Amino acid sequence: MKNGYSIIIPARYGSSRLPGKPLLQIKGKPLIQHVYETASTTKAKEIIIATDNDDILNTATSFGCRAILTSEKHQSGTDRVAEIVEKLDFDDDEIIINLQGDEYGLQAELIDSLASNLSLNIDSDVATLCEPIQNIDDYTDPNIVKVVFDNNNKALFFSRSPIPAETSGKLPVKAYRHIGLYAYRVNYLMKFTKFERCDLEKTEKLEQLRIIYNKGRIQMMITDKAKGIGVDTEKDLQAARSTKD
CATH number at residue 170: 3.90.550.10
Tell me: the pLDDT tens digits for 76-126? Answer: 889 899 999 999 989 999 999 999 999 999 999 999 999 999 999 999 999
Task: Tell me the C-alpha to C-alpha distance, in Å, between residue 32 and each of 35, 53, 88, 104, 225.
Answer: 5, 13, 22, 8, 21
Tell me: the pLDDT tens digits for 14-28? Answer: 877 788 999 999 999
CA distance 116 to 136: 32
Residue 162 has pLDDT above 90, yes or no: yes
Count how many domains the chain has. Answer: 1
104: left (phi over 0), alpha (psi -120 to 50) or beta: beta
Residue 1 has pLDDT above 60, yes or no: no
Q: What integer pLDDT is reported at residue 76 of this predicted model?
A: 81
Tell me: the pLDDT tens digits for 28-84? Answer: 999 999 999 999 999 999 999 999 999 999 999 999 999 999 988 887 889 899 999
Nearest to 49 by CA among 82, 9, 76, 20: 9
Structural domain including 98 reads: 5-241
Residue 212 has pLDDT above 90, yes or no: yes
Q: What integer pLDDT is reported at residue 232 of this predicted model?
A: 84
Q: Which residues pair with 182 in a beta bridge?
A: 98, 128
Residue 168 has pLDDT above 90, yes or no: no
Tell me: the pLDDT tens digits for 150-159? Answer: 999 999 999 9
Cβ-contact 97, 183 below 8 angstroms? yes
CA distance 71 to 145: 27
Cβ-contact 145, 131 below 8 angstroms? no
CA distance 96 to 144: 24
CA distance 118 to 127: 6
